[in-house]
Amino acid sequence: AAPVGGVPTLDLAQGRVEAVDQAKRQLVIAGRTVGWHPTQLRVVGPGGHGTSGPSALRKGSKIRFALDPASQAVDHHLVALLVESTQ
């Protein structure tokens, strides 16, 4: 994402959660496994309501998500996640 005022912006992609592994802090989205940092991930529920964090994620949830632009290309992790629907 292009920096705004020197700060990278986040681009939201859309997907559906195919699998969730809370113990490993990983989601599978479109066949790709992505992780999240336990304190950096921000999760927003349907309608903009807060959730209980990654524990609210379920297989089949329709989401929009952003990967950390500062992380290495092969080791991106989620930093923002908007849950649009849980099924």
Enclosing H/E stretch for 21: strand 13-21
pTM of this prediction? 0.76
Each residue's pLDDT tens digit, 31-76:
989 998 888 888 888 877 776 688 888 899 999 988 887 765 556 7
In angstroms, rounded to a whole number, what is the distance separating the alpha carbons of residues 64 and 82?
A: 5
Kindly list the distances between the CA atom of residue 69 and the CA atoms of 8, 52, 84, in Å, as whole numbers in the listed order: 7, 24, 22
Work out the angle at residue 49's Cα, subtended by the Cα atoms of residues 40 and 11, and round it to the nearest 5 degrees: 50
When pLDDT is averaged across residues 10-35 and rounded to a whole number, the result is 91
